[in-house]
Structure 1
Amino acid sequence: MKQFETNEELIYALIIDDLDGAITPSDKVFLYQWRSAAAENENTYQDFLSVQLNMDKLYQRDRSDVENSWKALDKKIVQKLQAQQFPQKGRSIRFWFSAAAAAMILLSLTYYFINDSRYVVVSTANHTAITRVVLPDGTEVSLNAGTTIKYLKHDFVKHRKLELKTGEVFIHVAPHNDSRFSVDLGDVTAEDIGTSFNVVKNDKKVSVIVEEGKVALKHLQLDRSVMLSAGKLGVYDIGTQALAVADNPNVNYKAWLDRKFIFKEISVVQAAEQLEKAYQVPVRVKDESLKNRKLTASLHYQTLDSALAVISASLQCKVTKEKNRYVLSDH
């Protein structure tokens, strides 16, 4: 019996645990070895990934919207599932692919996933939740709202190149002896040297902040590069084609991902702007007297309600929710 001829239900369970972030270190190693053993195994993992991402976005919507969508599209879903011929791989895999077919039909989702013969494209819409993707080499990529990435499906491990088309990602690179991991950013490339780093790309500039290890930010055509170590910020100005490096001044650069904030004598308006970016919910400061006040606090809350409750208690101000936004005001 070959090393990886194992119970399919066990493999599927490990994949689901991995995508849910609940897998043990030893099982993660085993799963990575299984994925690397054959292209068919990696294709199966990527299929599960596409299901997971679409279903996550489906159930993050308001429950009433989901139920209405299911009712409205029920006949279409049934027809689509009946037209599919699924392999007999056990109840779990049939359920997952059934769920995938249903999720793909719900075109009103704020997320899309394209999986063609060569590339995988993952895109998140504005004001959506964080999306986590595990690349074929084991590298973990977290996508902020309004982000699009693209990578090779079959030959990724050979080239280990991720393209960030727009938006913000945090990347924890899996160690690899054969090749270095790189991020294609258009004019420039961020080449990893064993690290974790944050990347932002828009139509004006590219910013790279290194958390651990080192990153080489390179402009290949101009033969320019800067080396970034932990705590450094690298910026490429698309208009002037200038590369610059400096100490990272933003201690909350990763708050969109980990919800950790350190505020030291900053204005309430600045704090509100950072909270709004991280939680993807508008936060407004109503009164001029409150806008000029300073806030010093350390916050680590998964919900915006909890973070604002602490701020309200600290500043003795009022927090109200008006439709889809929060408003801070004096009592």
Structure 2
Amino acid sequence: MQADAANAEARAVDWLIRQRDPMFDDWDGFADWLAEDPAHNAIYDAVASLDRDLDALPATSKPSVVIVPEAPRRPSRRAWFGGAMAAALVGAISLSSLGLFGNDSRIETLAGEHRTIALADGSKIEINGASVIEIDKDRPRFARLESGEAMFHVVHRDDDPFVVETGDAKIVDLGTAFNVVRRDRQTSVAVSEGIVLYNPDRDKVRLVAGKGLEARDGDRQPPVVQDVDVASIGGWRSGLLVYNGTPLAVVAEDLKRTAGMQVSIAPEASDLSFRGALIIDKNRNRTIADLAALSGTTAQRQGDGWILTR
């Protein structure tokens, strides 16, 4: 099994390197390789994510391969990755032995990083930044969101529902797409397609498309179902964040998770709420300016981020 995994990792790296060539045209072969084994998709995604995140490796570690910091998309980046691949093939190093794939049942993202994982049953999980999700190879129709945010696109099976756990809550799909946020002992759920059941063994709350809820751990009463704009559910995936009376501290947390932006709220502005839409693009100053204007605050630079004051 370890040899098969190593071979799959090596093949994934090879595909990634080949696809950088402008003349690459073997997309049919690539698609056939992905279709050979459901694990190939996840392995390729892990390799591609590693390639994007090379600069995030700890500077204090002493790996067997020395990584020279480079600007993104430089040709030497390909040369390094190709060299690492060659070293792996001759046994000098391997991606697994360096721990770069980590625990394949636990997915952690950095602030501002977005990742998508495809499950063997055809379901898909899109994971926002600063999030932790656990999956279980022995329970392919299960995921646990420990913290952060994720959008679930679930292939429904009547005899085998997909279950998402977070905090002390359980969310069961009935053929569905839904977004889940886990923060500070609180869970938020919003459904964009189909139906989910929230805590079917306790609260028995049924959510259809366009509905959502927020619940805190330990609540004795079932959470109140609220209307949610379907178009805004999972908007973080395209850089759109929509709010209706949300505390500024929560907006700041979302900006850090989704875009890696550091925003703090001054004490005198901590009681303010925010209504409106924020578009996250390369011009972070514009996003902050919109947030300040719509919330009635003033934005000032503070180190690598901003602070909102009243």
TM bucket by the smaller chain?
0.5 to 0.7
Is the Cα contact below 8 Å between 2:192 and 2:233 reproduced in 1?
no
Answering whether residue 56 of structure 2 is matched by residue 77 of structure 1, we say: no
Answering whether residue 133 of structure 2 is matched by residue 149 of structure 1, we say: yes
- Corresponding position of 1:171: 152
Relative to the length of structure 2, the TM-score reads 0.63
Q: CA deviation at 1:182?
A: 2.0
Q: Counterparts of 1:266 and 1:236 in 2: how far apart (Å)?
A: 15
Q: Counterparts of 1:179 and 1:323 in 2: how far apart (Å)?
A: 50
Q: Counterparts of 1:96 and 1:228 in 2: how far apart (Å)?
A: 51
- Return 5+ residue gaps in structure 2 as ranges: 1-7, 17-26, 67-81
Q: CA deviation at 1:170?
A: 1.3
Q: Counterparts of 1:260 and 1:216 in 2: how far apart (Å)?
A: 26
RMSD: 4.9
- Corresponding position of 1:88: none
Q: Counterparts of 2:214 and 2:241 in 1: how far apart (Å)?
A: 23
Q: 1:14 to 1:257 in 2, by over 3 A?
A: farther
- Alignment map for 1:1-331 (pairs within 5 Å): 31=31, 41-59=37-55, 61=56, 69=59, 73=62, 76-77=64-65, 94=85, 101=94, 105=98, 113-115=102-104, 120-124=105-109, 127-153=111-137, 159-174=140-155, 179-185=160-166, 187-202=168-183, 204-220=185-201, 222=202, 224-248=203-227, 254-262=234-242, 275-276=255-256, 278-284=258-264, 298-303=277-282, 304-310=284-290, 320-327=300-307
List per-residue Cα deviations over 1:144-169 (Å, max 9, x = no partner).
3443222233x55xx52222233321
* Paired amino acid for 2:287: A
- Return 5+ residue gaps in structure 1 as ranges: 1-7, 17-26, 79-90
Q: Counterparts of 1:133 and 1:35 in 2: how far apart (Å)?
A: 13
Is the Cα contact below 8 Å between 1:317 and 1:329 reproduced in 2?
yes
List per-residue Cα deviations over 1:191-210 (Å, max 9, x = no partner).
11222111123563433211
Identity %, equivalent residues: 21
SS at match of 2:122: coil
Name the count of aligned residue pairs: 273
Relative to the length of structure 1, the TM-score reads 0.60
Q: CA deviation at 1:268?
A: 7.5
Q: CA deviation at 1:305?
A: 2.9
Q: Counterparts of 2:39 and 2:277 in 1: how far apart (Å)?
A: 43
Q: CA deviation at 1:114?
A: 0.4
